[in-house]
Structure 1
Amino acid sequence: MRALCYHGKKDVRVDSVPDPEIVNPRDAVIEVTSTAICGSDLHLYDGVIPAVLPGDILGHEFMGRVVETGPKSPLRKGQRVVVPFTISCGSCYFCERQQFSTCDNSNPVEKQEMSETLYGTPMGGLFGYSHLTGGYPGGQAQYVRVPFSDVGPIVIEDDALDDDRVLFLSDILPTGWMAAENAEISGGDTVAVWGAGPVGLFAAQSALIMGAARVIVIDHYPHRLELAKGLGADVINFHETDVREALMAMSGGVGPDAVIDAVGMEAHGFAVDNMLDIAKQRVGVGADRASALKQAILSVRKAGRLSIPGVYGGMTDKFPLGALMEKGLTVRTGQTHVQKYGQKLLDMISAGKIDTTFLISHHLPLESAASGYANFKNHQDEYTKVVLRPGMEN
């Protein structure tokens, strides 16, 4: 089969690789019909996530049709399914509490030492996202083996729901929803969202659905800010405006009730500490660039809530820990418990309460994935979301 493989920093190629096979009784194999490039894929592309090896198949946002099943899979050949990017067993201590992304059984034992050394406990398994998370082949491919297929995949019964409407149930839509849920939004709240990328836009959309009185999105890409306005959000261009001053003015001098960092470890910005972090990343020291997170902590009101869906992988310098403590902030973060939200969000899409298609800017064949990555990285204002189609002709 053909699949997008990692070959080094900013070097991804579509190669011929062996087809996946059923390994365990709960496995299924799907033929991919749509797969997307995620903002967090760019962390791999930029070489700032450890334990990504040459030949690894990338991609964690995908869907398709079932072509083969193990004897304990409930799926049937021919079914359309969206596959969560989190791999979860469904029966461990964490899965039983619907904390699916922290599954204890999905990261193979031989892979657990790396993430346990970094984070104190092993990570759960993820598709296409380094050997820290199990080294599972990803979904930017013609076919994918899906472990624990009785727990994760969301069956799409309604043929009227085309791929574009449901694909993002695999990651960014539930990630944006959980980000807003973690911000504990209630009626009348002012919510600030850093980042008008896919997760930030879905977090803003979710916050408005949950009853926020005002959502303010911070970014510097004009088209992405226009997309945020289209959702009903106010916007701040951080190249043109002092963000903290603007947020204080827009919140009656108090600060936002809740803030969401949807940027993560490769934040833009010209503050001295961020420029140092950029330099450290480029020489391989591995400091996360957390300027958006730091600004969010300093901007939120006292006793406010901080939600962090943005991906962080290592350490960060000059962290305002004193502000976090002295302001009495509540912090919630983590990889998304996708299986917890899938059916609820599918029902909202079916009912017309959530639209996902506004985000898609480009459809490309899988064979053009390398250029898709380069453009998504270098032209983020025009390439808001790239969907790859394995069956699409060049």
Structure 2
Amino acid sequence: MNETSVESVDEPTILNDRDIIVKVGLSTTCGSDLHLLGGYIPAMRAGDVLGHEFMGEVVEVGKAVRTHQVGDRVTVCSFIACGQCWYCSQELFSLCDNGNPNPALTEGMWGSSIGGCFAYSHALGGFAGSHAEYVRVPYADQGAFTVPDGVSDMSALFASDAAPTGWTGADGAGITPGDTVAVWGAGGVGQMAARGAMLMGAEQVIVIDRLPERLEQVRQHIGAETLDYTEENIVAELKERTGGRGPDVVIEAVGMEAHGAGAVGGPMYLYDQVKQQLRLQTDRPTALREAIYACRKGGNVFILGVFGGVVDKFPVGAMMNKALTVRGAQQHGHRYIPRILQHIADGELSTEHLATHVMPLDQGPQGYQMFKEKQDGCVRAVFQPHATTGSPS
């Protein structure tokens, strides 16, 4: 666990007529990768290629591909969906019946399998990831999207996963004009959920985190309010800002390795951390608990951060007695990516600021260490597979 290295692997080839091969231009770390490295997501194997958020250039196309040709600049959705099954017809693309060729493990864990995902363990298909020079993209007509001429490579990179994941949470949470929305987590996904909420009509958006560089990005690039949970009683402060009710919508964009502070966090966080490290539970729900307590009666809760299995001390009493509507999902990016690319092209969405550290791929282990430890204000480490070695910028 927690070991990464740069090694030579075989170049991918077309395996199905609907595949394309993409020369990776940019690929980035994601908080979900840390769950893999920490051993909290099962079915990883030594030698697996990481990376699920990327963009690049099409260099080869399968015979059945209709919407892409060699030379196209594309951003690729991290989830793999066929576009033809019942779930895809309902635009629930991360639930695709055909995207994951290894459904047995997730069927056992969750009752049903979900779609495939690049580099997200063999439980979600065992697909090679994007921290490589080239990557095979299955179902390319559904999952790869041509980048408009006015959108930079760096902006398009985050239209692969961070932005559509955020959009999935904001849209799925049922935001209506005039709502107050609170988002836990100021990483890439949390920032994109906050911006999505604003574009969907929310009147007030508040983002909660503890890292000053991330909270500053929220204020500068997203335009939302911020709270530092190490300095404020979050539940009390949110009620103060909403006339005593609490937010109409809460979005948890942290996931299974949440930290905590204050009355809701402190002892419970330590309890959760010990149980998770001993593998007596798979997930730390500190932020999710706080979100449920903070949400107004009759409000909406969306679980956007990744959870893998079971948690203890889940506040089902608060959820039931407060009449909360609780939803969650992996991203349905096929639904949102074209819209997101247009928002970027129109100047309504900023994503480039997330790339705080850009470096050649051969410095990947260093980039992951910086990202995991939040060193030097690292929000995202971005890798350039075809760049020459140099110091991180």
Quickly name the TM-score band, shorter chain normalised: over 0.9
* Rounded Cα–Cα distance in structure 2 between residues aligned with 1:216 and 1:342: 24
Which of 188, 193, 213 pairs up with 2:178? 188
Uncovered stretches (5+) of structure 1, i.e. residues with no partner: 1-8
**Of residues 201, 223, 228 in structure 2, which corresponds to 1:232?**
223
Matched, 1:71 2:63: yes
The amino acid across from 1:96 in the alignment is: S
The answer to whether the 8 Å contact 1:287/1:317 transfers is: no
Matches of 1:371 and 1:78, distance apart in 2: 31
Counterpart Cα distance in 1 of 2:280 and 2:47? 24
Aligned position for 2:86: 93
State the alpha-carbon separation in 2 of the partners of residues 195 and 83 from structure 1.
Answer: 24
Q: What is the CA deviation profile of residues 154-208 of structure 1, one whole-angstrom value per residue up to 9, with x for unaligned ones?
A: 01241x4221111111111011112111222222211111111111111111111
The amino acid of 1:52's aligned partner reads M
| CA apart distance, 1:392 | 1.4
1:139 is aligned to 2:130: yes
CA–CA distance in structure 1, aligned partners of residues 240 and 339 of structure 2: 36
Aligned residue among 267, 290, 294 for 2:289: 294
Tell me which amino acid in the other structure corresponds to 1:312: F
Among 300, 305, 314, the residue aligned to 2:309: 314
CA distance in 2, matches of 1:152, 1:365: 26
Query: How far did residue 215 of structure 1 move?
Result: 1.0
CA–CA separation in structure 1 for the residues paired with 2:100 and 2:186: 32
Residue 33 in structure 1 maps to residue 25 in structure 2: yes
Q: Which secondary structure does the structure 1 equivalent of 2:337 belong to?
A: helix
Partner of 1:84: 77
- C-alpha deviation, 1:96, in angstroms: 0.9
Task: Give the Cα–Cα distance (whole angstroms) in 1 for the partners of residues 280 and 197 of structure 2.
Answer: 36
Compute the displacement of 1:381 (Å).
6.8
* Structure 2, unaligned runs of 5 or more: none
Q: Distance in 1 between matches of 2:276 and 2:370?
A: 21
CA distance in 2, matches of 1:250, 1:157: 40
Count of residues in correspondence between the two structures: 383
1:331 aligned counterpart, secondary structure: strand
1:115 matched to 2:101 = no
- Preserved contact between residue 22 and residue 56 of structure 2 (Cα < 8 Å): yes
Opposite residue 78 of structure 1, the aligned amino acid is G
Identity of aligned residues (%): 46
Deviations 1:300-346 (A, max 9, x none): 00000001110000100010001111111111211111101111111
Which residue number in structure 2 is paired with residue 6 of structure 1? none
Determine if contact 1:259/1:306 at 8 Å carries over to the other structure.
Answer: yes
1:197 to 187, 194, 211: 187
What is the TM-score of this pair, normalised by structure 2?
0.95
**Separation in 1, partners of 2:49, 2:274:** 28
Q: Report the AA paired with residue 393 of structure 1.
A: T
Q: Matched residues in 1 for 2:327 and 2:215: separation?
A: 25
- For residues 65-124 of structure 1, what are the alpha-carbon distances to aligned partners after superposition, in whole Å with 9 as ceiling and x for unaligned? 11111111122111111110010001001011111110001111xx21111000001121
Report if aligned partners of 1:223, 1:381 keep a CA contact under 8 Å in 2: no
Structure 1 runs of 4+ off > 6 angstroms? none
Q: Distance in 2 between matches of 1:379 and 1:354?
A: 24
**Letter of the aligned partner of 1:215 in structure 2?**
V
Q: Is the 8 A contact 1:224 1:381 kept in 2?
A: no
**Aligned amino acid, residue 83 of structure 2:** G
Helix, strand or coil for the counterpart of 1:33?
Answer: strand
Matching of residues 301-340 of structure 1 within 5 Å: 301-340=296-335
Aligned CA-pair RMSD: 1.2
Match of 1:373 in 2: 368
